[in-house]
């Protein structure tokens, strides 16, 4: 199954200056627990943005998408299109494929109907940024809440995670 996971601000912003904007450890924990043991597919810019001490993301198969034939890194597998990466890993029945961004990769995956299910963290705050998550078409996707977290001393903003499933199966 191809899943997507993202955290977005109330104005759909997801990043700025090739970095995350907010620090929400509770949401990061949800991301880690949800993706552990699976395959994470990301754009080359997202890969570059992950601090070296966390890269590759542990206990996951890290897959990087780039148009650059010269790109190699011992920490990841490299593909030159998302479709190729999905076709390669779809034969693995034991793991899900998670599209983990950033903006270009999310937009391509949704526009080309590559995704079966999404976990979207809605942060109750708008931010300035330079990268956005595409609008979610609610005639296509049905959402249900998975968990909510209040603002607290470690998490500066409250948020709710929603699971989106396709209304009509592919």
Ligand X SMILES: NC(=O)c1ccc[n+]([C@@H]2O[C@H](COP(=O)([O-])OP(=O)(O)OC[C@H]3O[C@@H](n4cnc5c(N)ncnc54)[C@H](OP(=O)(O)O)[C@@H]3O)[C@@H](O)[C@H]2O)c1
Which residues form the interface with ligand X (CB under 6 A)? 6-7, 14-16, 18-20, 42-46, 49, 65-68, 71, 80-81, 100-105, 108, 131
Q: How far is the CB of 164 from ligand X (least distance, A)?
A: 14
Q: Which is nearer to ligand X, 116 or 134 (CB)?
A: 134
Distance, in Å, from the CA atom of 97 to the CA atom of 78, rounded to the nearest integer, reads 15
Q: How far is the CB of 169 from ligand X (least distance, A)?
A: 25
Q: How far is the CB of 142 from ligand X (least distance, A)?
A: 21
Q: How far is the CB of 88 from ligand X (least distance, A)?
A: 14
Distance, in Å, from the CA atom of 71 to the CA atom of 94, rounded to the nearest integer, reads 28
The token duo for 152 is 């607290």
Cα dist from 58 to 19, 45, 49, 76, 124, whole Å: 19, 19, 16, 11, 29
Identify whether the C-beta of residue 153 lies closer than 8 Å to the C-beta of residue 109: no
Q: Which is nearer to ligand X, 28 or 166 (CB)?
A: 28
Identify whether the C-beta of residue 97 lies closer than 8 Å to the C-beta of residue 86: yes
Q: How far is the CB of 13 from ligand X (least distance, A)?
A: 8
Q: Which is nearer to ligand X, 45 or 122 (CB)?
A: 45
Q: Which is nearer to ligand X, 25 or 167 (CB)?
A: 25
Q: Which is nearer to ligand X, 38 or 44 (CB)?
A: 44
Dihedral sign (CA 152, 59, 34, 56): positive
């Amino acid at each position: 199954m191809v899943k997507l996971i993202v955290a977005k601000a109330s104005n759909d912003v997801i990043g700025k200056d090739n970095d995350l904007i907010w620090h929400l450890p509770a949401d990061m924990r949800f991301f880690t627990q949800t993706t552990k043991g699976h395959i994470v597919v990301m754009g080359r810019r997202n890969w570059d943005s992950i601090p070296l001490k966390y890269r590759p993301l542990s206990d996951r198969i890290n897959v990087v998408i780039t148009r650059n034939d010269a790109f190699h890194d011992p920490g990841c597998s490299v593909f030159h299109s998302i479709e190729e990466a999905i076709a390669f890993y779809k034969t693995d029945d034991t793991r899900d494929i998670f599209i983990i961004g950033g903006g270009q990769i999310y937009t391509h995956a949704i526009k080309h109907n590559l995704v079966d299910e999404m976990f979207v963290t809605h942060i109750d705050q708008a931010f300035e940024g330079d990268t956005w998550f595409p609008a979610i078409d609610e005639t296509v996707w049905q959402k249900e809440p998975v968990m909510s977290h209040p603002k607290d001393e470690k998490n500066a903003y409250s948020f709710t995670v929603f699971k989106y499933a396709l209304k009509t199966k592919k």
